[in-house]
Structure formats: C-alpha cells, structure tokens
Amino acid sequence: ALVSTGELKEVLEDPHSRKDLLGLEITYDDTEELFTVLDRDGSGQVDVVEFVKAGMRMRGGAKAKDLLTLRALVEDQATKIDKLQEAQSKDMACIRDQLSLLVNSVAQLQHQPKL
C-alpha cells in the first residue's frame, strides 16, 4: 500500500500520532525528510511498509538519519550508472555494426573492376 504526502501530514497533525512518533525518537521533521528521501521517483507516494521500516532504522539521532539519506542517494546513483552503462553498450554495438558495414562497403568497392 502507498501513502501520499497529504495522508502523511494528516497523520502527523494528530496529537496522538505525534506523541507515538516522539516515543520512538522520531520527530515531525524527521518524517517529512524521510518521506522525501524515500520518494525517489518524485511521485508524492511511498510504500507504507518501507516508510515504517526506514523510520525504525533512523531512530536514535542524526547519524542514523544521515546514513539512511546517504544509502538512498547511493542507490539512486547506482541505478543511474546501470542505465548509462546499458545505453553505452547499445551505442557501442551500433557503432561496431556501422563500422563493419563501412569496412565491407570499402572492400566491395576495392574489388569492383575499374571502368
């Protein structure tokens, strides 16, 4: 199930929810930052289970929160690198094919009788 930013704000405005989060050492600001970090595609929605798991991992201070942010950034960069490598491989294959065609064309021209 997904939760949106609006739904999250509704929950966070509830005094009982805020008290529960503070009991887990998670502040209002932490939850907004966490949502932003987890919303990698910018859709404004995140998986509820992943949100709760990440919230539990970031309890206890800035160090855990910073590591979570860094982990998300590294994963995003790894995905981008994978896509770039895939595109580069396709481009190189295309270049090899074109070069092969060019070499074959030149060879054929060299073997044609001169007029």
CA nearest neighbour of 31 among 70, 20, 42: 20
If phi over 0 gives left and psi between -120 and 50 gives alpha, with beta otherwise, what is residue 45? beta
- Residues of the chain with confidence (pLDDT) below 70: 28, 30, 58-63, 115
**Predicted local distance difference test score (pLDDT) of residue 10:** 83
**Predicted local distance difference test score (pLDDT) of residue 111:** 86
**pLDDT tens digit sequence for 25-34:** 777 676 777 7
Which residues, in sequence order, are CB contacts of 44 under 8 Å at separation 6+? Answer: 4, 5
Cβ proximity of 73 and 40 under 8 Å: no
Which residues, in sequence order, are CB contacts of 32 under 8 Å at separation 6+? Answer: 8, 12
